[in-house]
Amino acid sequence: MYYTTLVKASYYAPRGKHRLMHLGMLIAQRYLRAEDRLIGVVGDAGAGKSLIIRGMFPGLVLTNDDDGVNVRPLPVMEDAENEYFKTHTYHLDVRFEMAFSQLWELADAVKKAVSAGHRVVVEHFELLYPLLNLNAEILIGIGEEVVVTIPTLFGPFPAEIAEEAYQSLIYRKMAHSAEDLTSIVFEQMGFEPPTIHGDVRRGFVVEFARKPEIDLSEVERRVLDYIAQDLPISVFNDHAIVIGQEKLSCSGPRIHMSSTGKIERFRLDKSFHYSPITKTFLLAGRVG
């Protein structure tokens, strides 16, 4: 028998709900085997772990839903206690469940479910791994990038993936916040805000069907002015945020800095880049 070993697959971590779920679907199609029973996901709050999981496992009931629907008692714990597993795939958010159960109890329930042939998807897997002594069959880290690995006995280990994910998430949040400020400035200057969004390392890319005749140095100056004001950024609802007193639509409202002043070293390219393939004009902004 031959095995394919995946060292690491890296994707830009998108900033919108639908793009995150679509990426989750692609990850499942490319890397998930029907017999995989332990899936580990690591990353800080607001990174998009739940959305990636929704994309990978459509219909899976998340036990700590972002909408505030918290399933009690925890299904995998209840079924482990009854020694009868009713569901093929279970979900567990370790950080959330630590408020209700001891880590060893959670680890014991997961091991029983996996041993019985059931699948468990574990958020904050790095917290449970030391007691499980069992690595995930697919390990996903979500920070600035989405990193997918298929560990062997020799790694990579959850703590390594978690460290990378936690440290890099700030750049994704800075980039998204700066991207929204750039959209505000475009609108203020009489131009349609960009509707097509892309990704670049430690930054963002926006696309235009026609090249805007706009002073990009002035756009940068106005964005930097917003940053200097250190305006609060807060979630309004699932589709909007508030920057200062200004409400604007946003497809990833949780993926932001808490204030504009925390965006570091913003700079905007001073020219549009033309793509002959898509026939669009691209503008890149950088942070950090």
Length of the chain: 288
Average pLDDT of 159-178?
Answer: 94
- Rounded CA-CA distance 95/272 in Å is 44
Please check whether residues 120 and 247 belong to one and the same domain. no
- In this structure, the answer to whether residues 25 and 149 fall within a common structural domain is yes
190 shares a domain with 145: no
Question: How do residues 179-225 score in pLDDT, each as one tens digit?
Answer: 999 999 999 999 988 878 888 889 999 999 999 999 999 999 999 99
Q: 23 and 147, same structural domain?
A: yes
pLDDT in tens, 85-107: 999 999 999 999 998 999 999 99
Tens of pLDDT, residues 223-233: 999 999 999 99
- Average pLDDT over all residues of the chain: 91
Please name which of 287, 268, 253 lies closest in space to residue 171, comparing C-alpha atoms. 287
pTM over 0.85: yes
Q: How does residue 1 score in pLDDT terms, banded at 50, 70 and 90?
A: very low
Give the residue-averaged pLDDT of 59-82. 81
Asked whether 287 and 264 are in contact (CB, 8 A), the reply is yes
Output the pLDDT for position 246. 87
CA 237: distance to chain centroid? 18
- CATH for 73: 3.40.50.300
Of the candidates 173, 176, 154, 147, which has an alpha carbon nearest to the alpha carbon of residue 42?
147
Cβ-based neighbours of 224, under 8 Å, separated by 6 or more: 266
Q: Are residues 127 and 17 in the same domain?
A: yes
| C-alpha distance across the termini of the chain, in Å | 46
Query: Residue 134: how many CA atoms within 13 Å on its side-chain side?
Result: 14
Question: What is the domain extent for residue 266?
Answer: 172-286
Please compute the mean of the pLDDT values over residues 24-42 and round it to a whole number. Answer: 96
CA atoms within a 13 Å half-sphere pointing along the CA-CB vector of 40: 28
Q: How far is CA 244 from CA 162, 222, 253, in A?
A: 32, 15, 14
